Amino acid sequence: RGQFEYESVLCVKPEVNVYRIPPRASNRAIRAADWKLDAPDWTGRMRVTARGKVAYVKLEDKISGELFAQAPVEEYPGIAVETVSDSSRYFVLRIQDDNGRSAFIGIGFGDRGDAFDFNVALQDHFKWVKQENELSKQAQAPDTTPKLDLGFKEGQTITLNIGQSKKKERSRPQSSGGIGLLPPPPGGKLAPPPSSRSTNHNTQPPAGGSDTGR
């Protein structure tokens, strides 16, 4: 909400002329030559501001700053601000009051540089609006697709890692146990039988010899 309440100033021009313009012919381009350019109906200051994504062209009294008229602009180029076909210094504004009633007036700058600044201020603002809209769309759209891609990758790596680790863990104890059991038998279990046999051979002959000798 704060973003929309905050009003930034895009452009200020100390002098702009306002003209009443004749009814519009739908099939004909707007021409400043049809206005009474030598007798403007009002002269004052212009201030272009922005609140959120909407720009406002405000016509104010030079001295008091009192608002004479304002035109809310939601897109540019658009119906709220239009260029004329025969000059770069004049525009048509659709002004609105607090009750929503609108009217079209002509505005003009004495200097082409002022008209250029006014044009660029609106263009830059709506370039920003367009970028903001695209970023918000991108932020919402990829929420589903990257998660699916990452999910497949994570699943594949996890199953492969678990399978390899289990195989390694199972093979190690078997090989080490087998090697550990093989060496003891030749040294420990096979040595006693020969010794017992040798003692039997040693004791038997003397006993037999004594019987036969006697």
Question: Which residues pair with residue 134 across a beta bridge?
Answer: none
pLDDT surpasses 60 at 196: no
58: Cβ contacts below 8 Å, ≥ 6 apart = 46, 47, 48, 49, 67, 69, 70
The 10s digit of each residue's pLDDT in 142-171 is 555 555 555 555 545 554 554 455 555 555
Tell me if 153 is assigned to some domain.
Answer: no
User: Would you say 107 and 93 are in contact if contact means Cβ atoms under 8 Å apart?
Assistant: yes
Is the peptide bond prior to 77 cis by the omega test (within 30 degrees of 0)? Answer: yes
Answer yes or no: is 206 within a domain. no
State the total domains in the chain: 1
Query: Can you give the pLDDT at residue 193?
Result: 54
In a domain, 26, yes or no: yes
Indicate whether 199 belongs to any domain: no
- Cα–Cα dist 28/49, whole Å: 31
Summarize pLDDT for 25-35 with one digit per residue, the tens.
777 889 999 99
Q: Which residue has the tokens 């720009």?
A: 55
Three-class DSSP category at 174: helix
If one counts every other C-beta atom within 10 angstroms of the C-beta of residue 72, the result is 14
| Residue 168 maps to a domain | no
CATH of the domain at 135: 2.30.29.30
**In 54-144, alpha helices (H):** 112-140
- Mind listing the pLDDT tens digit for each residue in 68-105? 999 999 999 999 999 999 999 999 999 999 998 999 99
Flag whether 19 is in a domain.
yes
Q: How many Cβ atoms are within 10 Å of 53's Cβ, its own excluded?
A: 16
Range(s) of the domain holding residue 78: 7-140
Is the per-residue pLDDT at 186 higher than 70?
no
Whether residue 167 lies inside any domain: the answer is: no
Half-sphere exposure of 155 (CA within 13 A, CB side): 6
The 10 Å Cβ neighbour count of residue 70 is: 18
Q: Is residue 80 part of a domain?
A: yes
Does the pLDDT at position 48 exceed 70? yes
